[in-house]
Chain A
């Protein structure tokens, strides 16, 4: 009986405390309040996925609070679909739960296209602290422009990212390895300039079960697999679609694109088993446990590779730009996926002006320089700054790498097209369907989605190497990149 009495007292206490708490807190500003607050009590909410960059933004924001009195707080969510879903639901409900949100560059179509974020052009033009030329045209277009080519900016770059690779210098520079490699393949063991070379190196270093040649993403979730297969599709001359005509059939299922997918399947042989479930986390782990000689991952994680506490091999880790490839038409192309996020203002926010002022301050050079210490910024002057470039081994690589990035479709239907591409490509690499069948199904399904959304698909004659029509960037000879 005594225990029961204590239980009751405990619960009554909890009930009382909670009612007091619940009652009081509801009056806080934000989504629960009715009247607009005086400026001094404004708190901005930023949604982003949890991580180092978000932590950095929030830390820097404390200085803004000291200057302006406006508090900035984070509502961080887990990486992956949950992050997109959170932002999407809030927009769908026209809620004011957050004022600022950072979303993957590819989602700009969905959010801007649905009319959920504030057009930033008038603010930038009026501003005396920021200028359109602070970022390269590419940067702005990729992270904030919708529709493509219109010049309308809905988000500013908050974290710039692209894919790159890192490798084990000790293995690459070991004289025995070099000699053996040269004997077998006939050229020097060095940072690969083509994917074909990378394949050879991966094959050379594949010595199961302790060492494999390559670690790369291959997971079904989110964009893990396709961010890698897209690189391959592009370097072989394939394309995801034709932005001018909205055609997908004949592009993602063109012979060149299928070459790319098949190449990925070949490469899987030189990766540790299970690669078809890997996201960037597993790639990092594989490299950090010394399982792989090379790894293909986002620049976002290069900081961790450099850190001895996270990576036991950090002192022998070298960084490089991803190779290009020679397609079936004999041309050399170097392209890889871009990543990163842009920050935009929610149209339903109650503090649009304050939100803009925060972004205006945050995107200035001094703040971006501090941010650049842990993440990649989008601002051109910081990217060109020798201090940033010299800060570590990979910043200078990033500056070069960004010029070779390509991206998914910038359409409101991005999330759906991505899921279909992920599913079918994953079917291809796990052997459930042949690559030809999978890509054909993919094109079919994706076109149905576009039709459903009301786009007019113009038919043009098919060609084997669509890149020559869409974004011709093939060069007749291999163009090596050496960055020191």
Chain B
């Protein structure tokens, strides 16, 4: 990277640094960092915002309780299953659809916009509507399965195994467009001449795809996976409207448990501990992926 000449100018008007950075920094510090520090502070007490009497410092007890409770581990495992499945499915589908949309064909721009539409809907509306569609009796999905294909009715939201898939189907419908968008952008960035060179050597499209397109788009694809991963772990709206954490506690993700603890039970101390644990998990996963991202970025030069 030729920065040497630029270095001459690098120190020019350094004050601009402060002007441009401070608004962002101040905003984030006051409105996110400060409440977050409050959160950490509370996690060492058994405090509740709603029932303020009787506060005691409990040290790490909240954290210990969470990490040693079998219920918590069931939630972690479920969340892991859900996130892994959802992100993988969305990644594969997203890349596939972007691949198909690479070719120029009549109506391509319209198809592209349509494919992006599910992402634009309000998540609450999406959750509620899928709940309606998944209903065992009058849902349209069971209509196709039962009346048209003749198979047995599926109890989507009432049986544990099915509810996981119902959530994944709804989540995939809504967020695959995110993958499609980023993947499309990545694919259209690959320089044409590389393809032409490959064609000369009689390479098939599959070969072109796996040896040229994918490696060069890897950085953006990983970035998309990072964002989807973070958002999946944080996901709350969908579980809230679609299953309410049910049946029983089958679809209760860690994020939903956090909501329950902090909001329904108003156990502020414990809720804060959950939040911190969740944050550590997300930071850990993202860091690993960012390292991979940087490595691939370097490689693609």
What is the distance, in angstroms, from A242's C-beta to the closest C-beta of chain B? Answer: 22
Chain B 223-279 residues near chain A, CB threshold 8 A: 243-250, 260, 263-267
Chain B, interface SS category = loop
Q: Which residues of A contact B107 (CB under 8 A)?
A: none
Task: Tell me whether A423 and B50 are in contact in the complex, defined as CB-CB below 8 angstroms, given that A277-B157, A430-B160 are known contacts.
Answer: no
B248 to chain A: closest residue by CB: A427
Q: Mark B39-61, 1 if CB is under 8 A from A, else 0.
A: 00000001001111010000000
| Contact (Cβ within 8 A) A416 B159 | no
Residue of B whose beta carbon sits closest to that of A84: B264
Complex Cα–Cα for A272 and B138 (A)? 11
How far, in angstroms, from A116 to B48 measured CA to CA in the complex? Answer: 13
Determine whether the beta carbon of A285 is less than 8 Å from that of B49: no
Interchain CB contact under 8 A, B158 and A274: yes
Q: Which residues of B contact A91 (CB under 8 A)?
A: 50
Contact B160 A432 (CB under 8 A): yes
Please indicate the chain B residues that have their CB under 8 angstroms from the CB of A222 in the complex: 244
Q: Is the CB of B248 within 8 A of A432?
A: yes
Contact: A93 with B49, CB < 8 Å? yes
Known: A273-B136, A274-B155. A426 touches B263 (CB 8 A): no
Also in contact, A273 and B153, with CB within 8 A (given A220-B243, A220-B245): yes
A360 within 8 A of B: no
Interface string of A413-437 (1 = CB under 8 A from B): 0011001000100110010100000
**Is A291 an interface residue when CB atoms closer than 8 A count as contact?**
yes
Q: Are A221 and B244 in touch, CB under 8 angstroms?
A: yes
Total residues of chain A contacting the partner, CB 8 A: 40
Give how many B residues have a beta carbon under 8 Å from the other chain's beta carbons.
30
Is the Cβ of A92 less than 8 Å from the Cβ of B266? yes
Residues 426-483 of A contacting B (Cβ, < 8 Å) = 426-427, 430, 432, 452-454
In the complex, chain B residues whose CB is within 8 Å of the CB of A221: 244-246
Q: Which residues of A contact B109 (CB under 8 A)?
A: none
Q: Given that A273-B155, A277-B136, A282-B135 are known contacts, is A415 also in contact with B243, CB under 8 Å in the complex? A: no
Question: Is B157 a contact partner of A289 (Cβ separation < 8 A)?
Answer: no
Whether A415 contacts B160 by the Cβ 8 Å rule is no
Asked if B54 and A454 sit within 8 Å, CB to CB, the answer is yes
CA distance A393 to B267 in the complex (A): 45
Q: Inside 8 A of A277's CB, which chain B residues have their CB?
A: 135-136, 157-158, 246-247
Are B248 and A430 in contact (CB-based, < 8 A)?
Answer: yes
Cβ-neighbour of A220 out of B155, B248, B266, B267 (below 8 A): B248
A381 sits at the interface (CB 8 A): no
Chain A: which residue is nearest B245 at the CB level?
A220
B196 close to A (CB within 8 Å): no
Verify if A110 is at the interface (C-beta below 8 Å from B).
yes
Q: Tell me which residues across on chain B come within 8 A of A84, comparing CB atoms.
A: 264
Those of B16-62 within 8 Å (CB) of chain A: 46, 49-52, 54
B196-224: CB near A (< 8 Å → 1, else 0) gives 00000000000000000000000000000
- In the assembled complex, the CB of A116 is this many whole angstroms from the nearest CB of chain B, namely 8
- Sample (26) of A-B pairs whose CB atoms are under 8 Å apart: A81-B264, A84-B264, A85-B263, A85-B264, A88-B50, A92-B49, A114-B52, A219-B246, A220-B244, A220-B245, A220-B246, A273-B153, A273-B158, A276-B158, A277-B136, A277-B246, A285-B138, A289-B138, A291-B137, A416-B264, A419-B264, A430-B160, A430-B247, A430-B248, A432-B160, A432-B248
* Those 7 A-B pairs whose CB atoms lie nearest each other, nearest first: A220-B246, A274-B136, A92-B49, A221-B244, A427-B248, A416-B265, A276-B158
Residues of B at under 8 Å CB distance from A? 46, 49-52, 54, 135-138, 153, 155, 157-160, 243-250, 260, 263-267
* Sample of 4 more A-B contacts, CB < 8 Å, known A114-B50, A273-B155, A416-B265: A81-B264, A115-B52, A276-B247, A277-B247
